Each structure stands twice: as structure tokens, then as C-alpha cells.
Amino acid sequence: MAMTATARSVNGGLRHEVDVNGRHTIITDEPARLGGTDAGPTPHELVPAMLAACASTMIAMYANARGLELGEVRVDAVYEPDPIPRQVELVVHVPADLPPEQAVRLQRIVDTCPVKRALEAGFEIDEKIVFAEMACTHGS
């Protein structure tokens, strides 16, 4: 199933409204030092956000499906955009009393995160420019 996102500039500025699958809207912007209004994360900041959210969601789904009470679990994603290849560190914070075998299982669950797997596999990106059709009005 294909997923879609459509971004449109708000008033010609650096703030964008991004429609996701026709169901959700995300606001992105640039910081003031780059000419934006900092009304939302930059597009690049969404990379660690999507990884942290995906890993955390996978853990929650795993726990919910098994009726497990894991306690407070938090996932941090630290993204370094400058080196090539890019670097991300995912850190899963679990309660101190979590059994070690459960922690090992959570690591395997994080490895199933679809976003992580997609980024590791790489992408092929096709780009094209499409010219909007001009509305024609003919006088009679």
C-alpha cells in the first residue's frame, strides 16, 4: 500500500502544511535564523522523530499484544546528518527492574521497526516536474 504526503508552502514562506495520506496534517518550518518562523520542526528533524516514534510504537504494540506491563519506556533517536553514511543512535530506556531476557526481546522488536528497515535498505527516488494545466477562458 503506497503512502502519500503533499507539502504546500503557507503564504509563500518556509512554513509548510504537509498532508499525510489525506488524514493528517503536519506543520514544518525553518528556524528564524534561516528565514522561517519556527512554527514546527524542520523537515530534517522529522528523520529522528519518525525513527523514535516507530521504535516506541513497535515496543508498545508488542507489549499490548502480550498484555505486558513494561512500565515507563522511552526511545531517544540521535541523528547526525553530516557524516556519510548518515548516523543514527537509537537508545531505548527501560525500567531498571526489567528482566534481561525481556530487554533482549525489545531489541529484536526495535529491529522490526518499518522505518528503520526502510532506511537501512535504501531508496530509489524518481523525480519529475509536472507543469500545471492552465485554465483557458475564451471570450465570446
Q: Provide the 8-state DSSP code for 60.
A: H
* Tens-digit pLDDT profile for residues 68-126: 989 999 999 999 999 999 999 999 999 999 999 999 999 999 999 999 999 999 999 99
> What span, in angstroms and rounded, lies between the C-alpha atoms of 77 and 91?
6
Q: Is the pLDDT of residue 42 over 70?
A: yes
- Per-residue confidence at 133, pLDDT binned at 50, 70, 90? confident
What's the predicted TM-score (pTM) here?
0.86
> What span, in angstroms and rounded, lies between the C-alpha atoms of 59 and 107?
9
Strand (E) or helix (H) holding 71: none
Cα dist from 35 to 29, 39, 70, whole Å? 9, 12, 43
* Tens-digit pLDDT profile for residues 68-83: 989 999 999 999 999 9
